[in-house]
Amino acid sequence: MNKPENPKHITSALKDGFTLVEILIFTGLFSVIAVSFLTFFVSVVQTHTKQAAVAEVNQQSQLLLDTVQYYVQSASLIELSSDTATTTLKLRMSSSTIDPTYIYASGTVVYFQQTDAGAAQPLTSNNVSVSNMTFTKRANVPGHDSVSVVFTLAYNSSNTLQSFLQSLNISVARVGAATFDSNVVPSSNNTYKLGTVANDWQSINSTIYFSGSNVGIGASSPGQTLEVNGGVRLNTSTAKPTCASAQRGTFWVTESGAGTKDSVEVCVKNASDTYIWATIY
Based on the domain organization, do 41 and 146 belong to the same domain? yes
Based on the domain organization, do 217 and 125 belong to the same domain? no
What pLDDT shows up at residue 3?
53
Q: Are 173 and 145 in contact (CB under 8 A)?
A: yes
What's the structural domain count of the chain? 3
pLDDT tens, position by position, for the chain (281 residues)? Answer: 555 555 555 455 445 556 777 777 777 777 777 777 677 666 656 666 678 788 888 888 888 888 888 888 888 888 889 899 999 999 988 888 999 999 998 888 999 999 999 999 998 888 888 899 999 998 877 667 889 999 898 888 777 666 777 888 888 887 666 666 678 888 788 888 887 777 788 888 889 999 888 999 999 999 999 999 998 888 777 888 999 999 999 999 988 889 999 899 999 999 999 999 999 98
Based on the domain organization, do 48 and 100 belong to the same domain? yes
230 contact partners, CB below 8 Å, separation of at least 6 = 217, 218
> How many secondary structure helices (H) and strands (E) does the chain include?
2, 15
Q: Are 219 and 209 in contact (CB under 8 A)?
A: yes
Q: What is the pTM of this model?
A: 0.50
User: Is position 25 within any domain?
Assistant: no
Based on the domain organization, do 55 and 103 belong to the same domain? yes
Based on the domain organization, do 210 and 269 belong to the same domain? no
Based on the domain organization, do 213 and 262 belong to the same domain? no
Q: Are 111 and 120 in contact (CB under 8 A)?
A: yes
Based on the domain organization, do 90 and 118 belong to the same domain? yes
Q: Which domain holds residue 198?
A: 194-232
Based on the domain organization, do 142 and 39 belong to the same domain? yes
Q: Quick one: which of 240, 239, 248, 241 has its CA closest to 273?
A: 248
Based on the domain organization, do 59 and 156 belong to the same domain? yes
Which of 124, 143, 173 is at the close of a domain? Answer: 173
User: Is position 26 within any domain?
Assistant: no
Based on the domain organization, do 226 and 252 belong to the same domain? no
DSSP string, 192-236: --SS-SSS--SEETTTEEEETTEEEES-SS--SSEEESS------
User: Is position 241 within any domain?
Assistant: yes
User: Is position 54 within any domain?
Assistant: yes
Based on the domain organization, do 49 and 169 belong to the same domain? yes
Query: Measured between alpha carbons, how far is 215 from 183 in angstroms, rounded to an integer?
Result: 23
Based on the domain organization, do 83 and 201 belong to the same domain? no
Element (H, E) at 52: helix 20-74
